[in-house]
Amino acid sequence: MSACTKTRSATAFLLVGSIGTVATAQINNDRLRNEVGTVKIEARVQRFEPIQSVVAGAFPIHTSNYDVVAVWDPAGSRAHESWDMELIYPLPGEMQISFTSNETVGIRRQSGGLAGQSDGPMESSRIGANFKDLWLSNPVILLAYAEQRAVSNGDRSDQRVELHQLTLEDTEWLVEIDGASGLPASASTTENDPHRGRIENRIDFSDWRDVDGIPFPFRLEQFTGDRLVRREIRTAVTVNPENTESLLAFVASELPPGDPAMRRWGWDMSHIILKRGGGGNIGNFPQIDNVAIEEIAPGIYLVPSTHNNLIIEGPDGLALVDASWYPERSHTLLARMAERWPEKPIRYLFLTHHHIDHTGGMRPVIETGASVVTSEKNAGYFREVFESTMAQIVNLVEVGQFLSLDGIGREIHAYDVYTEHADGMIAAYVPDEKLLFNADLFSPNRPLQFSLWFDDLMNAIDWHGIDVEKHVGGHGSGIAAHPVDVSGHTMPVIRRLEIGAN
């Protein structure tokens, strides 16, 4: 075994050749597959989320820092990862989580974070996402195992590169080989994305070092659609480390069988699954089995989940407030709505703000022809997404301070809410029931509240003079009466009433 401690020449493992005018490093694939059983990677990671930023389209929000130790057996499809996390957004705290899996099943161990102690089987979607990320993060190993389909020349930032088109696990990959160093400059693939449909998931590599004659990058920057999502500085890489079998071992027969379809779902959307993981979220499923429509007031229906929707019924159609994760959930909800109201189209989709957990299911709803109602501050972002990724023309209705709509034969108001949580926040109000729907600022009947954001909502109600009797939230459950008693909320940003609260 050998761990890299300093930069050395990589020529021991590279055969320099050329195609056209670009000098390239041809990886000795047979040697790598035969001699490299496992790889251990230790690193410091920063995670970012572009679609949770305060301003739509602005710099991604920093969600976490963590130390990671990964042990990977690429030929045997086994892996172990442990993350020691400092959570920054949305809830400051600490979390330790580890994953041990083979191709189909695995075990997760967690302590800290919002869920507290939580051990159990890994979701198949997270298994797929983790393995996809390991391949993308280690391009020399990817080149050794993938089928090479084509090689061509190109340019990247005024530097000649050689483009290797690869196939692995029914997935197309592109590795750019730097013409000067003969080493991979980047690796990318195209993945499903809730907002844009398809998006490039790319990692740029630098600080290459030799480990037992095998080159590994020690600095990685990951981007989705050219937006930063991860920075990784590797502190050590070891080839064929000793005493790792205990980390990779678990009794697969004692776990429920894996779900190949869900593994593929996570694989095809690994950037989303791992960005959520970087924020301390461990739930990785499309939530299509819990879609229920519950009437909470005459003609007003809550669709409860981790992220709630609201349906407002009028004589001439329906309005839907928010479109939470994921497109698959929206497809299921649309089918239920069509069964219940076959003659009533969805006239409006209200998007309270741009965050992807409340808008990740928007595309199927928009494809029905619904007009999108959102803040004028977010209109530019959504317009660019729609025009660049959707064939249809989307009717975008912009909300300033206030807007009244009656296209469903029932009046609905939209009010702007100034909050540090998200610029361009709106709340939806049904005057005939004096019912207000907000996202994230107040979660009815939930023991976890963000007191500063709650104050922002109450201030907006006072400023606009909204006659509220009932609150419904994008989180939480049921209805809360107004005024709400928040006398115990004393923390300046959040109050965790109970560690491990849902």
Residue listed under structure tokens 């963000």: 450
Mean model confidence pLDDT for the chain: 88
The pLDDT of residue 178 is: 92
Is residue 501 included in any domain, yes or no? Answer: no
In this prediction, what percent of the chain has a pLDDT beyond 90? 72
**Element at 389 (helix H, strand E):** helix 379-389
At 273, list the tokens: 């699954």
Looking at residue 486, its pLDDT comes to 55
Closest CA to 399 of 370, 371, 423, 377: 377
Mean pLDDT across 399-404: 98
Tens digit of each residue's pLDDT (9 = 90 or more) over 418-447? 998 999 999 999 999 999 999 999 999 887
| 304 and 387, same domain (yes or no) | yes
Does the pLDDT at position 36 exceed 80?
yes
pLDDT class of 144 with cuts at 50, 70, 90: very high
Task: Confirm whether 106 is domain-assigned.
Answer: yes
Same domain, 307 and 267: no
| The last residue of a domain, from among 278, 313, 328 | 278
Q: Do residues 304 and 274 share a domain?
A: no
215 vs 502, more confident: 215
Question: Is residue 72 in some structural domain?
Answer: yes
Residues 369, 457 share a domain = yes
Report d(CA 107, CA 255) in Å as an integer. 8
Q: Averaged over 167-182, what is the pLDDT?
A: 94
Looking at the fold, whether 312 and 195 belong to one and the same domain comes out as no
The confidence band for 56, taking pLDDT boundaries of 50, 70 and 90, is: confident
At which of 243, 278, 313 does a domain end? 278
Q: For residue 258, is pLDDT > 80?
A: yes
Q: Give helix 260-267 / helix 270-278 axis angle, nearest 10°.
A: 80
- Give the model's pLDDT for residue 17: 37
What is the CATH number for 6?
2.50.20.10
Mean per-residue pLDDT for 218-228? 96
In this structure, is residue 325 part of a structural domain?
yes
Q: How high is the pLDDT of residue 312?
A: 98
Residues 299 and 255 grouped into a single domain: no
Domain count along the chain = 2
Phi, psi of 19, deg, nearest 5: -130, 120
- Summarised one tens digit per residue, pLDDT across range 269-326 is 999 999 989 888 866 778 878 899 999 999 999 999 889 999 999 999 999 999 988 9
Same-domain status, 366 and 225: no
283 within domain boundaries: no
Q: For 34-48, 51-65, 201-215, which range has the lowest pLDDT when averaged over its residues?
A: 51-65
| Whether residue 243 sits in one domain with residue 101 | yes
Long-range contacts of 177-183 (CB under 8 A, 24+ apart): 177/22, 177/24, 177/25, 179/21, 179/22, 179/23, 179/24, 180/23, 181/25, 181/208, 182/14, 182/16, 182/23, 182/24, 182/25, 183/10, 183/25, 183/208, 183/215, 183/217
- Do 422 and 475 belong together in one domain? yes
Domain boundary, last residue among 250, 278, 306: 278
Q: Is residue 272 a part of any domain in this protein?
A: yes
Domain hosting residue 417, numbered range:
294-496
Judge if 166 and 303 occupy the same domain.
no
Q: How many residues does the chain have?
A: 502
249 & 387 share domain: no
CATH code at position 313:
3.60.15.10
Inter-residue contact 71 to 79 (CB < 8 Å): yes
pLDDT in tens, 97-138: 999 999 999 999 999 876 666 789 999 999 999 999 999 999
Question: Do 322 and 459 reside in the same domain of the chain?
Answer: yes
Give me Rg for the CA atoms of the chain. 25
* Residue 502 resides in a domain: no
Q: What integer pLDDT is reported at residue 116 of this predicted model? A: 66
Is residue 370 one of the residues assigned to a domain?
A: yes
Q: Is the pLDDT of residue 10 over 80?
A: no
